[in-house]
Amino acid sequence: MSESLQSYQEVGYGARKVGFGKKPAIIVVDFQRAFLDEKFALGQSPRIRKAAVETVELLELARIKEIPIIHTVVGFRDLWDMGRWKMDIQWIAENSEAAELSPILKAPSNEPVIIKKAPSAFFNTDVLRFLTLQSCDTVIVTGCVTSGCIRATVIDAFSYGFRTIIPEECVGDYTEEQHRANLFDVNNRYADVLTKAEVMDYLSTILSK
């Protein structure tokens, strides 16, 4: 056991599992062309690309099981719409190629795509309404980046009372250090970080409608 993990456990972090509920949904955070196509400045990470490829199998099973899937993409109308991001991302305009879902996901047209402006998929979007209307109690979070929008989405999902699950192969970041550090932290506080295989085993038990 690492010194960090032991220190957390000694004061009570990670004392219990979140566990799965009865009605899951999958949130796919920002697997859009801006973060996956090499033609864009942010699309250079093989780690993020690998996470997207890993997510495809999870989504294919979810579609067979008729489990709700919702996608988010970042997109801005103008500089005023961007807020106070400390990043050069004003070029990710709404309705631009950069804001399109990556074709890697093979997403059908009936899966909702929500435009967001802030890190969390929940902030000023219809994601919470979508999950509520679907009577979901479990949120499986995939996408990018682990240290930013994934972390923010996980914290909000936890705060709204959802059982929150992260399949570790299905989220990615620009550095392994930040990826691991943030998964370690949310796993000890807000969510269960599991293998993709464990999540797929759970999805396999869900009865189709």
DSSP β-ladder status, 138-144 and 171-172: parallel
What is the C-alpha to C-alpha distance for residues 135 and 175, in angstroms, rounded to an integer?
Answer: 36
Which pair of structure tokens corresponds to residue 163? 């059982």
The DSSP letter of residue 69 is E
Which of 166, 153, 170 has the alpha carbon at shortest distance from 55? 170
> Which positions are catalytic?
149
Residue with tokens 């690492």: 2
C-alpha dihedral sign at 72, 77, 83, 89: positive
Q: Contact 114/153 with Cβ under 8 angstroms?
A: no
Q: What one-character DSSP code corresponds to residue 166?
A: E
